[in-house]
Each structure stands twice: as structure tokens, then as C-alpha cells.
Homo-oligomer: A and B are copies of this chain.
């Protein structure tokens, strides 16, 4: 039997409330008997939610409640949440990682508050200056990791270099790729293109030991030429939201065409298996769960509006990072083999 993995779940902070979290916890606990989940939030409320869901004894051993009487709201300013809500479900979940009670935590809460709190409680891995948000995105043959997706609006070339290093180590460990191909997001592939920060980061990466393939462009996210794409949090976040927007628009257009009249509706019915397979391939829920890299602890951010399937995926990502000891491998790669910038 696999080693037990313990994950704390901030059950209160998502847009869709603790019901979705309870559903996701039960859903994934049934799949992984070695997974122990600690739902952090209002004890009474969570007990009521779980009472009907824990339908066999095994689940009672796997799913636990940890009380926290405050909730960080989606519009709480990060520093206010950090200072004033010391007993929030988010803070308690992160504290559990810090204290070694669990191996990782997952939250669908306010990104800024999660980042600020995690950084304050867990601290950075020595040699990494800033945390970065990293996520896998679908590509032609698999997926591409992209970072930073919004933790840092302004980045120096050294920050981008550190992001590249963390991304490279992550992909090496999780996807078992020997020398992940690292690309810098830019507005052209020629050396003369781009702003000063990107050009300096390119020089750092060229001089380093990673498998740096040079500049890549927005469309390369979905191609096959690169495994890790590095950019600052402003560009990364805009790209991510843009992707969500295009995908939704295209899906809406497709649905509209098939709903146009009784004939197209009939065709859609016949085409359902193909359309469903297509839907599954582009389903954003399969890509839910972004890693906050660079911290001395595993923290995974779920989309605020995640449903059961999406939230479960974020938990799976936390599990994978625990199994591959991501914090240890990032720390080693920076502080042992000389890849560090310091």
C-alpha cells in the first residue's frame, strides 16, 4: 500500500462554498484510500455537510474536520486578510503545512490573500526571491507548463530565471522528462525582439545549465516545442484569461450552430460521442489547480468557481507534488548543484 498522504483543504473560501469541497473530498477519497483529507472550516457546518456523504467507514477514517471560525472573502485585501483573519480556514490550512500536520494544502480562495499568507507563514525556499503560480495547459500532444500566472506583476530577469529553474525541476519530477525544454515568452523569436527584462533573462538562461530553447510566442503554449514557458505574472495572467475567453467563445459558437434548427439538433445528437470526447479534451476542469512554487511547503490554488471535478483535480495536483517531494527537489536543485543565482 502507498504511503499515506495528508492534505489540508480550505473548505470555506471558494465562490461555490463548502458543499463543492465536501463533494470533491468524498469523490477523491474514494479513489485514493491512502489519501487523508482535513477539511478546514466551520465545524458544525462541515459536520452537517459530511454526515450524509460519508457513506462507509473507510471515508470516516480518511476525511476529517479542523475547525476555523473565520473566512477570507474574495475581495479581502491580501494584507488585511493576513493581519486580521488569523483564524481563517485559509490560514489554518497553511499553518497545518507549516507545522507538519499535513503534506500540502489546497484553497479556492482569493489568490492574493493565499499568496501573501502562504509566503508569510511558510517562507520562501532559500535562493528563490518570489513565489510563482504555475499551471499545466493543454497542448497538441499533452500539456505545457506556464508560469508566473499572476503572483508578480513586475519581475526582474533574475526572477524569471528562478521561475524557469523551478518549472524545469517540477516538470522533470512530475512528468519524468529528463531535460525539460524551457522557453521565454516573447513577441518574436529573434534575439532583437522584446523588452530589456526578457532580453537579460534570456542571457541568464543561455549561460545556465537548463535546457533553454530561447524565445517562444503565445501560440507555442499549445504546440510541441516547449515544456515550460516562463513569463511575468502580468503577461501570464492575461494569457490565461485570454485562453479561457477564446475557449468559451468557440464552445458557445459551436453550440449555437448545432442548436440552430431541428436538423442540426438531430445531427448534434448523433455527433454526441465525438462532441463529448472533444469536450473532455478541452475541459478546463482537467487543468484546474495551480501550484504556488518557491514556498517551503506545497500550496495548490483551485479556481474560485471550481466544481467537484475541478476541485478534485487540484487535490490530485497537490498529491502528485507530495509524492514527488517537489519542495525537496526544488531546494536541492538550487542549493546543492550550483544552479543557484546567489
Q: Mark A227-255, 1 if CB is under 8 A from B, else 0.
A: 00001011101111111111111101110
Q: Mark A246-276, 1 if CB is under 8 A from B, else 0.
A: 1111101110011010001001101101110
Count the copies: 2
A158 to B: closest C-beta gap in Å: 18
Which of the 9-residue segments A189-197, A202-210, A307-315, A327-335 touches chain B? A189-197
Given known contacts A246-B243, A246-B246, A278 and B260 CB-to-CB distance under 8 angstroms:
no
Residue of A223, A238, A281 with most chain B CB atoms under a 10 A cut-off: A238
Quick check: B271 and A244 within 8 Å, CB to CB? no
- Bound together, the chains give a CA A105 to CA B44 distance in angstroms of 70
| Chain B residues within 8 Å of A150, by CB | 187
A297 to B: closest C-beta gap in Å: 25
- Bound together, the chains give a CA A271 to CA B270 distance in angstroms of 10
- Bound together, the chains give a CA A140 to CA B190 distance in angstroms of 35
Give the contacting residue for A190; candidates B75, B195, B217; CB below 8 A.
B75
Give the contacting residue for A245; candidates B218, B233, B271, B281; CB below 8 A.
B218
A21 to B: closest C-beta gap in Å: 24
The yes or no answer to A77 lying at the interface (CB within 8 A) is yes
- Give the 5 A-B residue pairs with the shortest CB-CB distance, closest first: A218-B241, A219-B245, A218-B242, A187-B237, A222-B249
Which A residues are closer than 8 A to B by beta carbons?
75, 77, 138-140, 150, 153-154, 185, 187, 190, 192-195, 217-223, 231, 233-235, 237-250, 252-254, 257-258, 260, 264, 267-268, 270-271, 273-275, 277-278, 281-282
A-B contact pairs, 13 of them (CB 8 A): A153-B187, A153-B193, A153-B195, A217-B241, A218-B240, A218-B242, A219-B248, A221-B242, A231-B238, A235-B235, A239-B239, A246-B246, A257-B277
Beyond A250-B282, A257-B274, A258-B271, 18 extra complex contacts between A and B, CB < 8 Å: A138-B249, A153-B187, A153-B194, A153-B195, A185-B238, A187-B237, A187-B241, A218-B245, A219-B241, A222-B246, A222-B248, A242-B242, A242-B243, A242-B246, A250-B250, A264-B274, A267-B267, A270-B270
